[in-house]
Amino acid sequence: MSNFLYIFSKLRYNLFMRCLLCQNWSLPIICHRCRETLLVPELNRRVLDDGLSVYSFYRYQEIAPLLKTKHTYLGYRIYTLLARQAFALFTKRFQFDVTVGIVPVDGIPKGDYAHTAILAKALETKYLRACYRALPARYDVTYSAKSREYRKNHPRGFIFQGKCTEKVILVDDIVTTGTTLMEAARAVEAGGAKALFALTLANASDL
């Protein structure tokens, strides 16, 4: 009986839930109607100062409340849904005939899962292979609400440890100033690979 109660407690959010956006009854955490009307991705390209192209699918303001769940118990499900919603558009637009590594831009882990690993997994196809833990950060630096100058002076110290492929795509949830992605691209190239471009869920360039 105790096992049943434990399992039921884990499932109760699936069985009795309202859509987070419209509050109508929905088994998925965000209902199909809201996904098709409020979370429609649009592919946008941004070029960073070092020439790295970053493709994003939402403006930050459009999905900010959802992104802020990353370190909560809802974060895993929300990030999984956003990744599938956004990256389905990417896989339709971009075709590969050679193996390319998907490298999550990892910080110091916080919580029970790595949100960038969820994004990498959602991108996997025949020729796109996730390279988990390939780009760990040495320093736990928080950039939220920090200036561009602060970000430049406080690097995360990425070390590229991936041996999966010679060409990789970087993946992160948000691009703001681009400092993190540019540092990650430099680390990848220092490790002997080539960062083709980066993918993020949201572009926060206007923050």
Q: Are 123 and 197 in contact (CB under 8 A)?
A: no
CATH 3.40.50 fits 41-203, yes or no: yes
Model confidence at 120, in pLDDT bands (50, 70, 90)?
Answer: very high
Beta strands, E only, 13-52: 44-47
pLDDT value of residue 107: 64
Residue-wise over 22-33: b if at least 16 C-beta within 10 A, else e?
A: eeeebeebbbee
Query: How many other C-beta atoms lie within 10 A of the C-beta of residue 66?
Result: 22
CATH 3.40.50 residue ranges in the chain? Answer: 41-203
Strand partners, 59: 203
User: How many beta carbons lie within 10 A of that of residue 57, not counting itself?
Assistant: 25
pLDDT (tens digit, 9 = 90+) per residue, 19-55?
989 989 988 889 999 999 999 999 999 999 999 999 9
- Tell me the pLDDT tens digit for each residue of 87-96: 998 988 888 9
pLDDT band for position 111 (cuts 50, 70, 90) = low
Residue type, 173: D
Three-state secondary structure of 130-159: ECCCCCCECCCCCCCCCCHHHHHHCCCCEC
* pLDDT over 60 (residue 12): no
pLDDT of residue 10: 42
